[in-house]
C-alpha cells in the first residue's frame, strides 16, 4: 500500500519523474497524457501546437476556442492542415452540448470522424440520450460526460451515474478533477465509483472553495488518483488543462507534468494491458 502523501511525493526523489513525457518506465505504459487546447486559448492553433511540443506531449484535445465542430468552417480547415503538418494526435474534442436534435448531433459525430477523434467530451441534456445511444454505436466514437462543478447539470458523481444508467457502454465520463474538488468530492473516489464508465480525464488541481493550482499543489491526491486509474486500466486520454496564466501557461504546466509523473512513479500502477487481456 502506497502511503506517500500528496505533499510527501513532491518532496521525494525526482527519479523517474518524466516517465510519461520521455516514454520510458512502467508508468509510460499505463497512461496517455496530452493537453486540452483551452489552456492555450489566447494562442493560435499553430502556437498552441508549439506549446504542446514544448511540454513534450503529442496529443491535444481541441475545443471551440480554436475551431468549431464544423467540417466546412474555415477555422477548422486551417487547423486541420496545421494538425496534420505537425503530426500530433487529436483523440478528443469538446466540451460540446447535445440535445434531442439528432440531425445536429449527427453533424458533430461526422465532424469527429473527419478529425479522427475517439471521444466527444460532452454536456448532454436528458433528451439527447436516445440519439446518442444510436450515434455512438454507428460511429464507434465515445461520449464522455464532463462534470462542471457546483450547480452544473453534472455536478456530483451521482448525476453522471444516473445519466448513463441503462445506456450504451460507449457513453461514460470525462472526469474533470478540478471541478470534482470544487464540488466537494475526491477525484480518486469519483473514478472508483464510475468504474468502467471513465473514458477520459481533464487533469486539474484545485483548492476547495479556493483557486486552481498547479498539479500537485492543491487538494488533488495525485498518487491515489493514479492508483485508481491504474486499477481501471484506463486506455483513454488524460488531458492536462490549466486555466491560470493564459498568456504563458507552459512553465506551470511543465511543473504539473513533473508532479504528475512523480505521483505515477510513486503509485502502484500496473503495466498497461490491452483491453482484451
Q: What is the pLDDT of residue 268?
A: 84
Q: Does residue 2 sit within a domain?
A: no
What's the domain count of the chain?
Answer: 1
Q: What is the pLDDT of residue 270?
A: 64
- Beta strand extents in the chain (DSSP E only): 32-36, 59-62, 89-98, 119-124, 142-146, 171-176, 198-203, 205-206, 212-213, 237-240
Q: What is the pTM of this model?
A: 0.88
Residue segments in the chain with a per-residue pLDDT below the cut of 70? 1-30, 269-277
Q: Does residue 26 sit within a domain?
A: no
Pairing type for strands 119-124 and 89-98 reads parallel
Q: Does residue 184 sit within a domain?
A: yes
- Please calculate the CA angle 41-79-234 and round it to the nearest 5 degrees: 70
Q: Does residue 3 sit within a domain?
A: no
Q: Does residue 117 sit within a domain?
A: yes
Q: Does residue 116 sit within a domain?
A: yes
Domain holding 172, by residue range, is 36-261
Q: What is the pLDDT of residue 20?
A: 42
CATH number at residue 206: 3.20.20.150
Amino acid at each position: 500500500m502506497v502511503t506517500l502523501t500528496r505533499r510527501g511525493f513532491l518532496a521525494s526523489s525526482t527519479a523517474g519523474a518524466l516517465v510519461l513525457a520521455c516514454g520510458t518506465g512502467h508508468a509510460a505504459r499505463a497512461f496517455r497524457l496530452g493537453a486540452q487546447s483551452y489552456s492555450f486559448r489566447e494562442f493560435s492553433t499553430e502556437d498552441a501546437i508549439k506549446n504542446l511540443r514544448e511540454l513534450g506531449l503529442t496529443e491535444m484535445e481541441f475545443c471551440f476556442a480554436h475551431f468549431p465542430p464544423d467540417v466546412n468552417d474555415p477555422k477548422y480547415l486551417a487547423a486541420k492542415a496545421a494538425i496534420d503538418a505537425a503530426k500530433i494526435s487529436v483523440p478528443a474534442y469538446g466540451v460540446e452540448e447535445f440535445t434531442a436534435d439528432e440531425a445536429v448531433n449527427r453533424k458533430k459525430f461526422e465532424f469527429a470522424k473527419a478529425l479522427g477523434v475517439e471521444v466527444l467530451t460532452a454536456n448532454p441534456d436528458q433528451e439527447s440520450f436516445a440519439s446518442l445511444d444510436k450515434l455512438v454505436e454507428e460511429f464507434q466514437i465515445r461520449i464522455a460526460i464532463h462534470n462542471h462543478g457546483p450547480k452544473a447539470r453534472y455536478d456530483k458523481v451521482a448525476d453522471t451515474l444516473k445519466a448513463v444508467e441503462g445506456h450504451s457502454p460507449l457513453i461514460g465520463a470525462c472526469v474533470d478533477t478540478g471541478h470534482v474538488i470544487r464540488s466537494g468530492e475526491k477525484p480518486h473516489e469519483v473514478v472508483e465509483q464510475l468504474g468502467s464508465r471513465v473514458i477520459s480525464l481533464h487533469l486539474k488541481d484545485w483548492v476547495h472553495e479556493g483557486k486552481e493550482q498547479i498539479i500537485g499543489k492543491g487538494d488533488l491526491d495525485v498518487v491515489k488518483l493514479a492508483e485508481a486509474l491504474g486499477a481501471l486500466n484506463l486506455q483513454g486520454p488524460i488531458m492536462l488543462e490549466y486555466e491560470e496564466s493564459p498568456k504563458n501557461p507552459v512553465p506551470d504546466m511543465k511543473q504539473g507534468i513533473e508532479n504528475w509523473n512523480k505521483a505515477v512513479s510513486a503509485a502502484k500502477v500496473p503495466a498497461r494491458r490491452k483491453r482484451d487481456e
